[in-house]
Structure 1
Amino acid sequence: MGSNDEAPTYTPWVPVPNVQELVREDPLQVPLRYVREPEDRPKLSDMSHLSSLVPVIDLSLLLLRNKEELNKLDLACQDWGFFQVVNHGIAKQVLRKMKDAAAEFFELPLEEKNKYVMSSSDVQGYGQAYVVSEEQILDWSDALILLVHPSHYRKLKFWPKSPTGFQEIVEEYSNAIHKVATELFQSLSLIMGMDKDALLGLHKQLMQGYRVNYYPPCSKPDQVLGITPHSDASTITILMQDDDVCGLQLVHNNEWVPVNPIPDALVVNIGDIIEIWSNGKYKSIEHRAVANDTKARVSHATFITPNVEAEIEPLNHMIDPKTKQQIYKKVKYGDYLRNSMKKKLQGKAHTEIAKVETLA
């Protein structure tokens, strides 16, 4: 995992084609490596009426310790594992600058973007992660992944120098998201029956990764997926979507529900680590991205995680005193993360490594 002074390194990746270039060369081409098995293909029937059911949480009310809003958060984490956050306090121009800078980066010539290409054993840089075999069906997306906090984990050779000011814009955006994450942790601590600073303390030092996903248009959107269904190996993930292009979907009651953008809102989902700490009360939910036949889509995911040395296990007070059933065993976060990255993305398969064997 590297020493405490170095960013963690992960399993080697298999190099793959650049999807944006494939589309640029031939917009009608969908190579077989991207075509899903029939049962895994998205049904592009319009389920957008279900999107309005995804909970919307007002962060300004949470900060006032509003009981009704805390109760809404509790139910959102139990029933959905996802919610949209409004009144989060991040200035519109901070969000806009980040969107514009990322869009500009992806419009650069390939040779310029390739200056920041991911090395085969690192998760930082430009490319596609989680590709662990030559046979794997590929996602219809490219990504730029940067470790932002703690700052000594940053590998600045992977931080684009073009467009001008990109590094400062990422810094400003990431600091604003960091503040929102810390405020959400306070409310999550309270609904989990703890002091407001408890979750932050459990992290041993908060780690923050930033991933920009670029989903080019696809001539056969019903045959591909932008990102394979998965849950996140994070504590929480905070996502900024494009305001005018849909793509994110989550599983709810065995249906794929679209999370349609609310302008300037942030989407938050519970990660595996909250699921473990809460002994399964709050669930990390499978989600995926679908492609669009006419428009590219860009999304900005921030993963908030514990330090790699932190030990994660169900909190005593979250274990039912009657059954005393502990669903998860103790895991070191760095080991958990490395194990999840050895596999291709595949639903919640990676959470099995943290489960107590007697439940298998």
Structure 2
Amino acid sequence: MASGFDKLKVEFIDQDESVQVVAETIRSSGEIPDRYIRPEMEADSVIIDTDDYNLPVIDMSRLINPEFSEEEIAKLGSACEDWGFFQLVNHGVDGELLRQIKDDITEFFRLPLQEKMSVAIPPNGLQGFGHHFVFSKEQKLDWVDLLFLSTRPVEDRSTDFWPTKPPTFRDSLDKYSLEIANVSAKLFMFMAINLGVDEEALLAAFKPEQPQSVRINHYPRCSQADKVLGLSPHTDGVGMTLLLQVNDAQGLQIRKDGRWFAVKNLPGALVVNVGDVLEILTNGKYKSIEHRAVINPDRDRITLAAFQSVPLSCTVGPLQELLMKGEARYKTVDGVEFTKGYFAAKLEGRRYLESLKLGSVNVSG
């Protein structure tokens, strides 16, 4: 069955060039194609591993333990308000499943390009292997190959884009998607407690079942890593993102206090961030923060981002319970309009989210 994404009719320019192939070529030639060179990278200063910039760590086992739950929920709320990001430990996702999904993803990206192209993103499509947010032949490109799939609800999957190699890929992704849906549902429940709203009031925005998609990213290594960028600065146009490091190469950076902060992923943790939808639902209490991916000069980096969002049939606006405590700060928009607007904003920082604040100028094109 076709997924809800097919209703969007997003217009992208076809980009059939694999960054992995480009990376292999420049290792001999030494010349990066101009379309990938990002001058802004040389001017950026990055904060790394200081006491003042430690990403909050939330422990799921403490959230569900009545003895520690109140304290941990307060920490969760503080992380969502002050950082928009946190690392989730003791999340409960089966360790053997994590090993299998990591092995399957790694093996997929090792396949010859011709085999990966068997699940290529079609013209103006969203699902499959390839690139997103390519709107013109002149724009700068991100240094990444991706596999984007709709994973939940199950009946909305477009399985033609689900790789059959390795043979365990589909089964492990199916199981992982369910585990992540359960983890996110728990987090939404504890967030509702922190916000002082009815649990169902928050969860209702994501029902009948939380739509979920995954973006599996392969960032090839580049000896001139300071000249390219894996993923442009952006916010996520969803409710919540849960990021799994497939290998231990680092590269995630978030914007904090006007500067870039390099996140060092804890082994086994999921990195969770607030998306645009959740910032709007909470009327700005929780923050959707700009982040980007940089490239490692010595190692490929692979990640699996699971996006928990709202149905296209819903409306996106502040929760009514929170409006009893103050005026709405964001417009309420139709779910399809919201998603189209997010893509139309071309992955440019907080541009689209800011346009939805009351009194702002609308974004187009």
Residue 114 of structure 1 is matched in structure 2 by 117
**Which shifted more, 6-15 or 300-309?**
6-15
Mapped partners of 1:47, 1:152: distance in 2: 43
Q: TM-score, normalised by structure 2?
A: 0.92
Q: Could you say if the C-alpha distance between residues 269 and 50 of structure 1 is closer, same or farther in structure 2, counting changes exceeding 3 Å?
A: farther
Residue 308 of structure 1 is matched in structure 2 by 312
Preserved contact between residue 215 and residue 296 of structure 1 (Cα < 8 Å): yes
Question: Secondary structure of 2:146's match?
Answer: strand
Preserved contact between residue 19 and residue 142 of structure 1 (Cα < 8 Å): yes
- The share of aligned pairs that are identical, in percent, is 37
**Which shifted more, 232-241 or 188-197?**
188-197
Mapped partners of 1:42, 1:287: distance in 2: 17
Aligned residue runs from structure 1 range 250-265, under 5 A? 250-265=254-269
Preserved contact between residue 104 and residue 166 of structure 2 (Cα < 8 Å): yes
Deviation of 1:150 after TM superposition, in Å, equals 1.2
- Residues 1:84 and 2:87 aligned together: yes
Residue 61 of structure 2 is matched in structure 1 by 60
Amino acid at match of 1:48: D
Deviation of 1:15 after TM superposition, in Å, equals 1.9
Q: Could you say if the C-alpha distance between residues 6 and 12 of structure 1 is closer, same or farther in structure 2, counting changes exceeding 3 Å?
A: closer
Residue 25 of structure 2 is matched in structure 1 by 25
Deviation of 1:47 after TM superposition, in Å, equals 1.2
Residue 149 of structure 2 is matched in structure 1 by 146
Amino acid at match of 1:152: E
- Residues 1:244 and 2:245 aligned together: no
Mapped partners of 1:42, 1:153: distance in 2: 44
- Residues 1:211 and 2:215 aligned together: yes
Provide, for residues 131-153 of structure 1, a one-character-per-residue CA deviation record: whole Å limited to 9, x for no partner.
11112110000100000111222
Residue 238 of structure 2 is matched in structure 1 by 234
Structure 1, unaligned runs of 5 or more = none
Preserved contact between residue 313 and residue 336 of structure 2 (Cα < 8 Å): yes
Amino acid at match of 1:307: P
Amino acid at match of 2:24: R
**Which shifted more, 196-205 or 101-110?**
196-205
**Which shifted more, 61-70 or 166-175?**
61-70
Amino acid at match of 1:101: D
Mapped partners of 2:225, 2:360: distance in 1: 42
Aligned residue runs from structure 1 range 164-175, under 5 A? 164-175=167-178
Mapped partners of 2:58, 2:43: distance in 1: 28
Question: Secondary structure of 1:49's match?
Answer: coil
Q: TM-score, normalised by structure 1?
A: 0.93
Mapped partners of 1:11, 1:80: distance in 2: 31
Provide, for residues 264-317 of structure 1, a one-character-per-residue CA deviation record: whole Å limited to 9, x for no partner.
100000000111011111110000000011100001000000100111211233
Residue 327 of structure 2 is matched in structure 1 by 325
- Residues 1:190 and 2:178 aligned together: no
Preserved contact between residue 251 and residue 287 of structure 1 (Cα < 8 Å): yes
- Residues 1:338 and 2:336 aligned together: no
Runs of 4+ with >4 A deviation:
2-7, 40-46
**Which shifted more, 223-232 or 252-261?**
252-261
Question: Secondary structure of 2:75's match?
Answer: helix
